[in-house]
Amino acid sequence: MTGHAERAARFAADEPRAHWHDQALWFVRLKRDRMAAAVPEWEALRERAAAVKAHARARLADYLEQFEREATRRGLRVHWARDADEHNAIVHRILSERGVTRVVKSKSMLTEECHLNPYLAARGIEVVDTDLGERIVQLAGEPPSHIVLPAIHKKKEEIGELFHRTLGTAAGASDPTYLTQAARAHLREKFLAAQAGLTGVNFAIAETGGIVVCTNEGNADMGTHLPPLHVACMGVEKIVPRLADLSVFLRLLARSATGQPVTTYTTHFHAPRPGGELHVVIVDNGRSRLLAEEGFRGALACIRCGACMNTCPVFRRSGGYSYAWTIPGPIGSVLAPGRDPVAHGSLPFASSLCGSCDAVCPVKIPLHDQLLARRREVVRAGGQPLAKRLAMRVGGWVLRHRALYEVAGRLARLALRRLPRALLYGRWNAWGRQRELPAAPAESFRDAWRRTRGDGRG
């Protein structure tokens, strides 16, 4: 089994792509910074959002039941799913009982997590992703590489070739306007032919029983206003207690995600359209287990803005596919090992622990603390190679004993000066594969301190 480091190496081997990916995401991060700086009460909003989410988690069952009562009173039909299998079966049952074979879907990371598209496709139901980035990766037969910018890893020339092959655009065309117009015409046909619309849920309001869906392309609105059937899928953590809380999150979400003052389309659904049906499927799928983990339950506050990915130096240089999980980046590296600490054991180590993710998280999740805690769990579960565990144990032992540390330092400096390069940069030295080891100083800081202070203490 390969880990994050091996997958990241494959992405980084294409140096121009890795550099371009890095710069594209850093551009988004800078836009986010400008937007945050323009809101004087930004830090107060983050504090408020974190407090609301903490309160909602503490009374999660109560607020979910309140949401169900209010939603049902307004004519919505609420379904409960313990895991991905139940979620997929419920959605399939709703669609198949109404004879639906054509569905349009707006971006939903929950349905990606549950692998809903292939489940429905295997049962004869066509699901067309209508977010442009999602449609690009769907046509390419790939999963999203970023939760907000799903095709960020693709260049316009690659998209032009893909559209030429799948949509019949002109060969060699890569003009973004031309390609977008072609995608729009293609998707319009899908919207008009759809029998049902599937969406995710950004926020569910317990007080009103309504749900809120945010998009920048209006595709969720097209997909839910044309066909008579709307199925909305949400994780239990999407609940917010009151309508008044919503403004806090809406001000944070778009600024953190893409550096916009507000999402272009923020649609409130409080009832089915006349003559139509609106179903909400509430999914647990491991979230209750995460809620029971005191050190990690704060991760349930995530509003899926992707800001931690845009700022993470490891994500920017290794790409979303290197994480091999639905949610990549720092938040994914906290969530995935909670599902399977062995299969995803390399992810908590895919971080420099610089804390930049903490600094930009709109709901103040202490991501780098949680990554460090996940590392301890992975090591305890035996999720690291024996050689690395032994090396870390020896390193810890040396660092705990001053005399050993001094001897080790002298030996290391001697080795750096005397050993041939072929040996120093052999296969064993993963750190040195793309970096030069520092030149060995003539004397250590401790020796220099003793020489200049002359007090014999170091």
| Residue 383, token pair as written in the block | 């999720």
> What are the E-state strand segments in 270-363?
277-283
For residue 433, pLDDT beyond 80:
no
Q: What is the CATH number of domain 39-154+195-289?
A: 3.40.50.10420
Mean pLDDT, the chain, rounded, equals: 94
For residue 455, pLDDT beyond 70:
no
Position 451 scores a pLDDT of 87
Question: What average pLDDT score do residues 293-303 get?
Answer: 96
CA 36 to each of CA 26, 40, 41, 77, 250: distance values in angstroms, whole numbers, following the listed order = 15, 8, 9, 38, 13
Position 56 scores a pLDDT of 98
Token pair 């169900």 is found at 68
For residue 457, pLDDT beyond 60:
no
Among the listed ranges 105-109, 258-262, 294-298, 452-456, which one has the minimum average pLDDT value? 452-456
For residue 59, pLDDT beyond 70:
yes
- Percent of all residues in the chain with a pLDDT value above 90, rounded to a whole number: 83
Q: Where are the domains of the chain?
A: 39-154+195-289, 386-453
Rg of the chain over CA atoms, in angstroms?
25
Confidence category of residue 72, pLDDT binned at 50, 70, 90: very high
Which of these, 225, 221, 219, 239, lies nearest to 280 by C-alpha position?
A: 239
Q: How far is CA 108 from the centre of its chain?
A: 12
Which of these, 382, 415, 324, 250, lies nearest to 7 by C-alpha position?
A: 324
For residue 382, pLDDT beyond 90:
no
Question: What average pLDDT score do residues 119-140 get?
Answer: 97
Confidence category of residue 70, pLDDT binned at 50, 70, 90: very high
Confidence category of residue 219, pLDDT binned at 50, 70, 90: very high
Tens digit of each residue's pLDDT (9 = 90 or more) over 231-246: 999 999 999 999 999 9
Position 131 scores a pLDDT of 95
For residue 454, pLDDT beyond 80:
no
**Burial tier of 376 (Cβ tally within 10 Å: 0-12, 13-18, 19+):** exposed
Query: Which H or E element spans position 204?
Result: strand 203-205
Position 384 scores a pLDDT of 78
- DSSP code at position 340: -
Query: Which H or E element spans position 273?
Result: none
Position 392 scores a pLDDT of 87
Question: What average pLDDT score do residues 434-446 get?
Answer: 84
Question: Alpha-carbon distance 300 to 367, whole Å?
Answer: 12
For residue 342, pLDDT beyond 90:
no
Strand partners, 199: 232
Q: How far is CA 65 from the centre of its chain?
A: 28
Tens digit of each residue's pLDDT (9 = 90 or more) over 142-190: 999 999 999 999 999 999 999 999 999 999 999 999 999 999 999 999 9
Position 407 scores a pLDDT of 93
Position 456 scores a pLDDT of 52
Question: Alpha-carbon distance 381 to 175, whole Å?
Answer: 50
Position 419 scores a pLDDT of 87
Tens digit of each residue's pLDDT (9 = 90 or more) over 318-338: 999 999 999 999 999 999 998
Question: Alpha-carbon distance 10 to 125, whole Å?
Answer: 35
Confidence category of residue 40, pLDDT binned at 50, 70, 90: very high
Confidence category of residue 1, pLDDT binned at 50, 70, 90: low
- DSSP code at position 36: H
Please check whether residue 26 is in contact with residue 317, taking contact to mean a CB–CB distance below 8 angstroms: no
Contacts by 427-430, CB closer than 8 A, 24 or more apart: 430/5
